[in-house]
Structures are given as C-alpha cells and as structure tokens.
Structure 1
C-alpha cells in the first residue's frame, strides 16, 4: 500500500492524520486567463489551499540533503578523510549553489503550433483542345505543417484565366510512391520534383522562415530558381493606360455653337459589284456638333425594299487607324481615340468626287443650301461641283426575268408560282371555261397497243382488254378506266387518274397537252409510257365536234362520222325484218 507521511512522520492511515484547524482556504488557484479574446494557461505558483507546491518542497529537501551526504569511496590513491575535508572547506568558503526552477513541460503540438513551411512550386499541363496554346504553366504554393507532418497544396487565383483555381489538395499526409510511407520535411528541398497523385510539382522558392528552419536542422537548401511565366497569359497582358495631357480644345464651344447644324449631301451608293447589287440614291448627314455621320437610303413607295432606310447609324467614321490597330473589329466595336489616329471631317466630303466610307463607295453629286454656305464661310478653298444624274439608273433596269427550268416536282403551274413570288399562291384557273364545260365529258373506246417485242401470249391478253378514255372539257384532263373481265388476270377499274397529259414530242418546260382535235378514230395516243389506239366514240362526241368545228380538224371529224354512221346502219339493218 502506498504510504504518505505528514510532518510528524506518521503513516497516512485513518486515525493518524490530523486536520489543521487554522487552515481557511481550500480552493485551487486559477491557472486560466484571457488576453485579447484568447484563452491562455500559465503554471500554478501555489497549491490547493495556498500551500506550497510539492515540487518546491522537494527542491528544499534535496538541497539540504546534498550538503550532508558525501560518498564513502575514493578515487585513485586519495583517502576518504581528505576528500571530506576538501568538500567541507569548499562548502563553507563558497556560497551555496543555486538551482534554477525547472521549466514546465510543453508538448510538441503546442511548440510547433502555427509553424508552417512554405514552398513555391509549379507544374506544366498539356492543353489539347486549343489551337493557341499547347501547354500552360500553373503556379502553386505547398504548405508543410510541422505540428502533424501534414501538407496542403493550393493554386493562387489568376484573374481571367478561365481555370478553376484555389485549393488543389486538402491538408493531409501526402503518400510517396512507396506503399506505407509519407513525405517528411526532410524530403523537401529547392530544385526537386515532388510527385503527388501523379502530378510532378517542381519546387523553386521558399520563404524566410522555411529557409531558417531548414538551415537550423542542418539541411542545406539548393539555389533559388525563377518561377517560369505562362507565355499565353503574358501575351494577353495589357499594360495600364498611360496618362495623356488633356487637349486645350473647348468641346463646350462646339456644342453651344454647332448644335442642330447638319451638313446634307446627296450621293449615289455604287453596289453594282455585288451579286444582286445596284446603284441606290442615299442621303449623308454630317453633324457638326460631334463630328458624327449618318447615311440613309432614299426610300420610295413600291420599290420592293423594306421600309427602314437607315444604311449606317450615327457614329464617328475613322479615316486613319493607328499602327497596330489596322485589323481592329470596327464592325462590332466602337472605335475610340486609342485606336484611331484621324476621323472624317467636312474637308473630306467634296461634292463631285467619289469617296469610300467603311468599304462602301459613294458619289457625292449635290448638297443643300446650308452646306454650300458653310463651305463658303469656313472652307472657301473647296470647290462645290454639282453633277446631274439620270432619273433611271440601276443594274437591273431593262433586265428581263428568266424562269428557271422545270424541276419535275408537282405540276408545271405550281412550280411556276414559286418562281413568281416568295409566298407562292395557287395557280389561276379559267373559271369561265370551267363553268361553261362543267359535266361535259368526251368518251372514247381504246385498246392497248402491245410492244412488238412482246410474246404472243401477251399480245392475246392485251387484245382482250377494253379501256374507256374520258376527256373533261372543263380542265382538259384525261382519265382511263378499264372494264373488269372475269378470270382475265387483270384487276380492272381505274387505270389513270384524272390529269393533264402532255404530248410525247413536246418539251418539259413548254409542254403541249392533248386536246379533242387529237382524238380521231384509229389514232394512237402515248400516255406516260403506254400506247392506246382509239377504236370508237359515243354519239355525244360527234355532236360536240359538229357544233364546234372551229378548232376540230376535218380529218378527225370525218373519222368519227364514218365510224358512227357505219355502226348506225348496222344497228338499223339488224332491227328491220327480212323482206
């Protein structure tokens, strides 16, 4: 059992301990305090109840014991009495040695807290989907925390780089390529490659604290290296604008005296070199208040153009660009004094001469009265020569429209409407003809003509087929119907839908369609690759052609009369009884 002795040397057992009745304080002294909002701990100077600490008591006991205890052995040939006298003499003659108070124990995580080694490094990354750069250099900062040997890698933010930057690797122990081993501060130095998770970081620089720490630990750092610069980002760097001394020209004077004063020129825009271009009249306005120019087309009713006459909005037109800014995208960005050396002025607008404005050619042929007075007052050296222009001008004057050839899609009339207007309308029909000839149909009997190279069986089959050809006088269309015959091998019914049929010898663009004058008994018609011969007609066909002999050939009419009269005589003979 552990024993604790008090001042009287009694064991610390029940019944042997005595309580000090004079003791009034039993609290533990305060060891925590706050300084500027931070909690600070300091070692206690007194124990519980304001008693001296046990360490202080042991120090006094050790000092008193060291003065009386002497070794009883000898060193060499010296005896013990001589050594004791020498020690007593030195003890009484010299003052008692003083021992410093022992320092309190401070753990390593407190000593190394907030002590971080800082290295600057970089790595190169290949760019695949860019035609401007092949690789880029990215700078990083490596932090080594001495408290727990952890590391973190972060990438400083570069403005307008287009790369997601910031913390690349969170604080952790970075593993080496060897399994189970991690990087230590002894493995770090300048000029080496640190491979972490497949990426090689080349360490180039470090801060002053890191350099001092490594030298104190006996590690000699290599020579500092310069951090490389990304060539692509360096090319995009734009130097800060330099200060320019302001001009002595008073812009307020121009605003107060030139407001609402505009020079007006009448010009011709020569756009005949383009595919669908022509010469157009325009009006050029030059505003003296701010030296801006505006160009408008002279819009006329029924000109075929959209009613927005503004050709160029009001802006300052550059005349001469500065060196290095010749390819400045002025079509989408406004030119300023940083890119333009000289702008257009009234001296550049000379009536009677050709001038080029933003790639367009204009011929100034006249101006108004105010413009003439302005030039006489301020620029008398400039001569104004008005030019008379013809009333009708243009590239397409007198040109005849050509209709493109028929492409085969749809009917000829429908395709023609798409060439005449942007939004094609249905083709016009002869309504009077349709109303007069409604329900008027000419019907003929026809036989199918078999090709010469066909077999005899095919010829016999085609000879047994019977067709009815109907011609509609309202729209000149033709339809063919085949009489069905039982067990003939042919379905029968509608053979050709109602449509207009062109003649085989006519052109595609200007076809000649079949008409009643072409339908004579015995004539052969070629309809979409099939040949038919007309063998008979009804009586209505003969009556119609006799009533309209003006456009029916005599031969066609005679064939119909001969065929129908012969059939009539045969019918009468069959009806008369034999004599």
Structure 2
C-alpha cells in the first residue's frame, strides 16, 4: 500500500473530524463525528485524543500525525496538552522503490529540467552597462583600450564593445566580444566540436546493433563533462578586474540603471568611478635648428616647419588697423642726436620714425649745407634688433618696440647710439593718449612725483618764477628742458 500524506482538521464547535488527502485529490472522510476504535466504539474522538507523533485509527485505517500548524500548537498548549516533539514524514516504500526503478528504466531523461522562462520574463530588456579599460600598453604596439561591457540579466550573458576614438587607425568593428556566457578562467585551449554540451550521448552497442536508435543512450552520470564557472552579476563591481579570455579588463564605472540595480538588490552605495583616461603624455619641446644667417629669421624658421617651405605670414590685421590713412599717420617721429666722441659727429641731427603697423624703424638725416655730410637716408625702413643678443640661435630675436621710445631715452640702432630730444605733435599726443604704454607721458603721474619732492618745492617754485618773469603761467618748451 502506498503511504499518503493527509491533513486532519478538527472542528471544535461540533467536535467533528474532517480528513483531506493530497493524492488522490478530494475528501477521504467527510466531516462528521468519528467513534473510537473497539472496544471503545461507543465514544467519539475529542481534541484531547490528538497530539504530535502519535497514531490514530479511523475506521480501521491507521494514520500517523507527525506535525501540526502554529494555531493548533498554541491551542493545545492553552488547554493543557503537552506536545510531543515533531517527527519526520514517513517514507513511502512504494515510491522509493519506484524512484529507484525509474533511474534504471528511463535513462533517456537523466537531467533535471532548468526553467529559464521566469528569468527571461522578469529581466527581458534589462541590461547592466559597465565602462571598462583594457591596458595593453605593456605589449608591443599595445595601448589603452576603452570598452563597454553589457551584462544581460535575462540569460546571464555578456557582450563587450569597444569605443574607438577618431583617427585611431583601427578597423570600424565595435564588437570586441560577441554575446555569450563569459567563463571566469577562460580556456586553456580550444575544445573539440561536441566537447562542450549539456547532454552526453553514449554508444552502447557500437557497430554490433543494426538499429542505431537502440545503440545510443544519454549519460546520466555526466562522465567527462567540462565544468565551467561563468561570471554573474555578483562578480561585477567598480574596481574589479575580470578575465575576458586572457585579457585583464578593469571595470571603471557604470550607468545609473546599473547603480540602481545594485543598490536595490545588494545594498551597495559606493560607486566611486575610476578614471579611464590615460595620464597626459609629457610634452616634448620641439627644438629647431639655429639661424643660418641667410635671409630673415622668419624665413629660416619656415623652412624647418614643413617639407615645403612657405613664406612668413605677417600680422595683416595689425597692419590694416595701424596703417597710415588721412590725417592719421600712425607713425611716431622723434628728433635725435648722435651720441659719439667724435667732434665732427656731435652736432649731427636725425629724424627717427617708428611705424606702428609693422614695428619698423627708419632713420633720416636732414640735409645741412656746408656740414661736410650729404644727409639723406641713414637707415632704410626695417626692424631693429635689441643689442646684446646672440645671432645664431634657435629662438627669435627681440626687436625695438614703441614703448621703448620716449623723449630722453637712448636707443641703440645697429650699434649707433641716439638720444631722443624731441617729437612732433602727433607723437606727443599719441603718447599722452596711451599712458599705459608710455608712463612718462602721464601728466597725473608727473604732478604726483612733483608733490613727493616737498623738500625741493621752494627751489622748484623759484626756478619756474625765474623762467616766467611776466607771470604768464606758460613756460617755453626749450626753457623747460
């Protein structure tokens, strides 16, 4: 006889017992009062006849009570019944024998069925996204590769894509690893076809049987099965290094959906990202050969920049903005005197013109009769280098600028020293309007400097009074100098 697992319900109101059976389904004994077994068949079962780990007899059938629910335990304790410790469900000898026979009789279905439909319906379309880095710079011609790892929750598969920067020189194949389960330890070699499979088929009879269908059975013991451990969502976290078929890939960051998933399922709150960008390469200073002496420095420099020399590009915008037009000449003219020890050259006067459009200088000597000098152009228009610089060098030379020209300054023009004595009205007005470049033309600064000389104020007042005896409050420029 098979052993059936049944539930016994005792109704306190009417003191009637009811028996339900799991297999076969339906009611085994209807709800009514059941008499005790002989010789006490004139009495009926009450609540005091029931306890755990005892046997009861209903109409000649013996039932074993091995446990009860929580409500029944509490009720029996309240009425003073001491409960026995719960027992185990009796083993059905028939089902045990049948299970052992099925293991030998039905070898074609030895594997347990794995139901993945629930996981697919729950996580279909939900993908974890990680930003990874594969540092292959240690190998020959290797570099740092930025990857994106997709973990599909529907079937626990992994896909890896590569982020190719512009002009990387690599083929436009974004798929780094096609979708599939990713083993943790990779493969020591290449498996033969059919070596990795869910079911192994055994050839029992070989060539002795004419009917091949009877000669093949499934291996229920799974002999020779290749065991592989695959990556799951528990193994993926920021800062972890995973093995992608022999390549060490570092997980640096993840998207918001992935952070929400790990925060909800595993309670992880630390998602500090790891920088994927490589450290900046040391900037190598480009060194150019020194100036050869032929042509200008700019022309020699342009011959070193490219294979095909190109002419030097002038500052055309500055030239157009500061070129002479109308009454605005954009040319600063100074009257200068040559500084020399020769008596014949001490009285020579020159006109130095500085062109703001291209920072060039020209020197002209006025013609003076019976001076012994023909006069005319002393230096044609060109840029003038500052003295004391090396000629043959890789850097550009420094040239005289407009800020260095003011009344009283000494200028070295190709070895000739000139002292600037005066300037025309346009130059003086230009310097007064641009006091940030020409601080000596700042009237307020000059007044402030005079106020600081309090000890000489009386002497200065006497000098100005002697220069202006008629009290016109105007002093001639030559007298002021």
- TM above 0.5, yes or no, is no
What is the TM-score of this pair, normalised by structure 1? 0.29
What is the TM-score of this pair, normalised by structure 2? 0.34
> RCO greater where, 1 or 2, for CA within 8 Å and sep 6 or more?
2
